[in-house]
Amino acid sequence: MLLRIYIILKFWGVFFLDLSNLTITEIKELFKGPREDWQEHLRALADDPRAGARDIHRRLKRAEAAVDTENKRLAKMFLYEEDLWAAGCHLVAGVDEAGRGPLAGPVVAAAVILPRQACLPHLNDSKKLTVAKREGLAVLIKKIALFWATGMSTVDEIFQQNIHRASLTAMRRAVLDLPGEPSHVLVDGFKIPGLDFPQTPLVGGDGLCASIAAASILAKVTRDHFMDTYDQQYPEYGFKQHKGYATPGHLQALKRFGPCPVHRAGFQPVREMIEIV
């Protein structure tokens, strides 16, 4: 009841902030509202003598500091795009790949052109995110991106070209498949051969640059979905769990069943098993 009266008085603008008559539970309810209201609530909490109220104040201040730190990190990730936008490059594509190291499956790349002021909470190198965060961000990236595309190199192409060249091939395919032509390409690692667009390679770009991080997420999620499909075709290898990487379980399955058609013939220990046969 007291909380309802507080909200009504706040709506009419005829109250002064005094939280001392609210229970700790009611105070917690206040902070479920818009974050822009927090400051006035926090100031009132700071003067509350109750231990429970002071504990809420400390936890909320820590939460605020964490949000501010995250916002600064995200803003820093757009610095490369900001410089290019300022120079007149309006469509900046970030490019990355996933799947260089596994013993099985394709290498998959993605290219993403983000709009200015894109809001992508928790955007980061795909390897630093949980599966749930990656999946959620992949949906959001596809929704807000100006353009996005994926490309891949097959297991056969990896064998014929080697993994480095096959990764560059997958990235080139992703860029060329974009519905809109980029004015500049930011790529993780190495320049992509066979592109006429200006490029900037960034070592560790998936953790430094927003567009590349977005591409790393789409590439990883797309490749994981491929491996989930292979798991249905070859359930004995456990691809759904390890996505083709050389885990103990995967190596045991390889020893027991030998390689399947989606294993990379040029990678050890797959190559050794094929040579023995």
Question: Contact, 126 vs 217, CB < 8 A?
Answer: yes
Of residues 173, 152, 148, 175, the one with CA closest to residue 163: 152
Instruction: Please give the mean pLDDT across all residues of the chain.
Output: 87
Residue ranges and CATH numbers for the domains of the chain are 2-76 (no CATH), 79-231 (3.30.420.10), 235-276 (no CATH)
State which residues of the chain have pLDDT below 50. 1-16
Distances in Å between the alpha carbon of 185 and those of 97, 110, 205? 14, 12, 12
Tell me the pLDDT tens digit for each residue of 160-183. 999 999 999 999 999 999 999 999
Report the predicted TM-score, pTM, of the whole model to 2 decimal places: 0.80
User: For residue 131, what are the contacts with CB-CB under 8 A and spacing of at least 6?
Assistant: 224
Distance CA 226, CA 15 (A): 59
3-class secondary structure, 229: helix
> Residue 34: what pLDDT?
57
Interior angle at CA 161, CA 157 and CA 166, nearest 5: 65
Distance CA 271, CA 273 (A): 5
> Residue 38: what pLDDT?
58
